[in-house]
């Protein structure tokens, strides 16, 4: 069997997604998510101009060899654009391998290690009462774990909080990025009161998560971790900017609050110190941005050695193809922790027909051969790409801060 065609489709059913489609001489089709939120066309170009021509004529069964060929063959290492592109190829080839074998991908990865994958949903509120209502809705749906984000008083916009009813929390602008506002001192006083209110109303049976979104210094993050200890968070995420691995030594020295980081990291080498020094509890790297199933599996195996569990990024900007791939891998690894699940807005389901299921807080990838997601190119064509920027964040004095 040979690869006969590889093409990239950029579509916007609710938000932008880039999808790699790989066809074989046996008539099989494999898909991979190539979406890099706000920089979609860079990955599309990387694939179209530099990778797709190398795929045609190759044996799709040689997944690891293709990974090494694309990674080492580029000479230039790592980075979100290259690693998302390689991830898309890797994921599409696992899809094809599953379809060839007539088995769901999780069976090829060693089979299920659990009955279902615990996921967490995103509760948010423009104030604490609204957040409490939002948490109640997730519990009603059966979620066992919920991320809680509330607007910080005095800030015009807060990460993770929708701007109005039915609005997404992550505004994306066509011309110039929207600008948020931030002061760490205000946030640090406010965040523990949010946890206190949620625990008071719902008790301790539900897992509570929180995303700091890269905004604190190491000692501020240590203070937050200590302040939240009485409320026993499942984790605090991205307490400091992820690229500074040694910052986590400072946080770790001060608090027993579990730490998660890594959604912006793209390889096993980017988390080597974090894992081997046991500086984190959960690693947020994803199939979509961290070199695909093959590479993330190695990264998880490293985590297994050091007691670090998975907690993969699964925001709505990762397509249903990436979500399915994540669920297959989550189901198999021994050190699974939790999986983020934000879902996808209409009309994404017209373009991506997925077979994964949600039951009582747990997801399952389904038993269709391959990944179990059908990509409808005719439907995709009805939703053309829309240029969008992620927001930029500023302190109250105007200084650009991490978003
Ligand atoms: O901001 O995926 O935990 N989830 C997150 C996401 C990220 C977006 C960026 O594209 O932090 O909301
Ligand atoms: Co995050």
- Ligand 1 nearest atom to the CA of residue 213, by list position: 11
Q: Please name the helix (run of DSSP H) or strand (run of DSSP E) that holds residue 188, with its range, or none.
A: helix 184-202
The reply to whether ligand 1 has any atom less than 6 angstroms from the CB of 170 is yes
State both tokens at 286: 């994803």
CATH of domain 3-104: 3.30.390.10
Q: Which ranges of 203-255 would DSSP assign to H, the alpha helix?
A: 218-228, 247-254
Across all residues in the chain, what is the average pLDDT? 97
Q: For atom 6 of ligand 1, which residue has the closest CA?
A: 315
Closest ligand 1 atom to 316 CA = 2
Gap between the Cα atoms of 309 and 260, Å rounded: 9
**How remote is the CA of residue 316 from the centroid of ligand 2, in Å?**
11
Which atom belonging to ligand 1 lies closest to the Cα atom of 37?
A: 10
> How far, in Å, CA of 82 to CA of 104, rounded?
27
Condensed to tens digits (0 to 9), the pLDDT of residues 217-274 reads 999 999 999 999 999 999 999 999 999 999 999 999 999 999 999 999 999 999 999 9
Q: Where in the chain is the domain with CATH 3.30.390.10?
A: 3-104
Mutate to test the pocket of ligand 1, among 168, 315, 317 (most ligand atoms within 8 A of CB): 315
Give, in words, the CATH class of 108-368: alpha beta
Residues 85-109 have pLDDT tens digits of 999 999 999 999 999 999 999 999 9
Residue 167's pLDDT is 72
Name the token pair of 103: 């088995």
pLDDT digits (tens, 9 = 90+) for 130-167: 999 999 999 999 999 999 999 999 988 889 998 777 67
Place of tokens 């890594």: 262
In the chain, which residues fall in CATH 3.20.20.120?
Answer: 108-368
Question: What ranges make up the beta strands (E) of 285-381?
Answer: 309-312, 338-340, 352-354, 357-359, 362-364, 373-375
Helix (H) or strand (E) holding 20: strand 17-24
- Specify whether 213 is catalytic: yes
d(CA 111, CA 265) in angstroms, rounded, equals 27
Percent of the chain at pLDDT > 70 equals: 99
In whole angstroms, what is the distance from residue 169 CA to residue 250 CA? 31
Say what the pLDDT of residue 362 is.
98
**Residue with CA nearest ligand 1 atom 9:** 37
Q: What is the pLDDT of residue 171?
A: 65
Nearest bound ligand to CA 402?
Answer: 1
What pLDDT does residue 63 have? 99
- Ligand 1 pocket, residue 211 CB under 6 Å: yes
Residue 281 Cβ < 6 Å to ligand 1 = no
Q: Is the separation of the CB atoms in 394 and 180 below 8 Å?
A: yes
Cis check for the bond before 176: say yes or no (omega within 30 of 0).
Answer: no
* From 106, 138, 159, 169, active-site residue: 159
Cα of 318 vs centre of ligand 1, distance in Å, is 9
Alpha helices in 318-381 (DSSP H): 320-332, 348-351, 377-381
What percentage of the chain carries pLDDT values higher than 90? 94
Instruction: State whether the beta carbon of 315 lies less than 6 angstroms from ligand 1.
Output: yes
List pLDDT tens digits, range 163-222.
777 677 776 788 889 898 999 999 999 999 999 999 999 999 999 999 999 999 999 999
pLDDT in tens, 274-289: 999 999 999 999 999 9
CB atoms within 10 A of CB 5: 13
């Amino acid at each position: 069997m040979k690869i006969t065609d590889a093409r990239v489709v950029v579509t916007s059913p609710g938000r932008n997604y880039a999808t790699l489609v790989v066809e074989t001489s046996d008539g099989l089709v494999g898909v991979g998510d190539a979406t890099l939120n706000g920089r979609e066309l860079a990955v599309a170009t990387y694939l179209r101009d530099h990778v797709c021509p190398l795929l045609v004529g190759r044996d799709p069964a040689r997944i690891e060899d293709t990974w090494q060929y694309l990674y080492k063959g580029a000479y230039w290492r790592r980075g979100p654009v290259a690693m998302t592109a390689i991830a898309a190829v890797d994921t599409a080839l696992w899809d094809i391998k599953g379809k060839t074998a007539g088995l769901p991908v999780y069976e090829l990865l060693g089979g299920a290690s659990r009955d279902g994958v615990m996921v967490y949903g995103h509760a948010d509120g423009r104030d604490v009462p609204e957040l409490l209502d939002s948490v109640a809705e997730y519990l009603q749906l059966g979620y066992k774990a919920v991320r809680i984000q509330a607007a910080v008083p005095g800030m015009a916009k807060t990460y993770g909080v929708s701007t109005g009813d039915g609005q997404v929390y992550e505004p994306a602008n066509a011309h110039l990025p929207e600008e948020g506002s931030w002061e760490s001192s205000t946030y640090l006083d406010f965040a523990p009161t949010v946890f206190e209110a949620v625990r008071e109303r719902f008790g301790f049976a539900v897992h509570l998560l929180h995303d700091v979104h890269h905004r604190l210094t190491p000692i501020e993050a240590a203070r937050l971790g200590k302040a939240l200890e009485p409320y026993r968070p499942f984790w605090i995420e991205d307490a400091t900017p992820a690229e500074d691995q040694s910052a986590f030594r400072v946080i770790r020295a001060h608090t027993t609050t579990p730490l998660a980081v890594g959604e912006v990291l793209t390889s096993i080498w980017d988390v080597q110190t974090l894992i081997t020094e046991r500086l984190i509890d959960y690693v947020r790297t994803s199939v979509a941005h961290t070199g695909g199933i093959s590479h993330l599996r190695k990264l998880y195996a490293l985590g297994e050695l050091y007691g670090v569990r998975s907690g993969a990024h699964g925001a709505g900007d990762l397509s249903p193809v990436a979500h399915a791939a994540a669920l297959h891998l989550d189901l198999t690894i021994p050190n699974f922790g939790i999986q983020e699940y934000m879902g996808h807005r209409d009309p994404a389901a017209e373009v991506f027909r997925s077979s994964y299921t949600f039951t009582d807080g747990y997801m399952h990838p389904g038993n269709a051969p391959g990944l179990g997601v059908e990509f409808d190119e005719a439907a995709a064509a009805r939703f053309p790409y829309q240029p969008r920027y992620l927001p930029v964040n500023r302190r109250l004095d105007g200084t650009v801060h991490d978003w």
